[in-house]
Amino acid sequence: MKYMILLYGSQQDYDVLSGRASNRPAMSAEQIAAMHQHMETFHQALAESGELVDARGLSEPVHARRVQVREGAPVITDGPYPETQEVLAGYTIVECASFDRATEIAAGLVDPDAPGGYVDVRPVLDGVEDLAG
């Protein structure tokens, strides 16, 4: 079974990664390198175990667009969205034996230094027939 692990962040997270201080100080080059090294090592271990399907980070919210349809016409809003602090920052898709294993993997993507940090784990459906289950 495939599982998607959804990683969340905020515009502030992107700001400190880009060297811009916000409510938190900007990350140093060493801190950024350590974070990238952790993610590379983490995903390499999953690749070696045969459980990694895909993993990607997403661009910062300022580069996003929200598309809605109102009265039959598309309405496009450029990001960031002031009504939400939290945004999808990236994902990792794994293929593993169980939901418990996917959850175990996901725990390695939660930043232990981020108060209230979390990731979501959701099964990936193969088709509409999976909705009935």
Residues 66-89 have a mean pLDDT of 82
The residues with which 68 forms a beta bridge, in sequence order, are 75
Highest mean pLDDT among 9-13, 16-20, 86-90, 113-117: 86-90
Above 80 in pLDDT, residue 58?
A: yes
Residue 133 lies in a domain: no
Distance CA 21, CA 15 (A): 7
Residue 13 lies in a domain: yes
Q: In this predicted structure, what is the pLDDT of residue 80?
A: 64
User: At 38, which CATH number?
Assistant: 3.30.70.1060
Q: In this predicted structure, what is the pLDDT of residue 124?
A: 96
Residue 132 lies in a domain: no
The residues with which 6 forms a beta bridge, in sequence order, are 91, 120
Least confident residue range of 9-23, 49-63, 91-105: 9-23
State the total domains in the chain: 1
- Record the pTM: 0.84
Q: Which two tokens stand for residue 2?
A: 């495939």
Residue 39 lies in a domain: yes
Q: Which two tokens stand for residue 79?
A: 């990001």
Domain that holds residue 63: 2-127
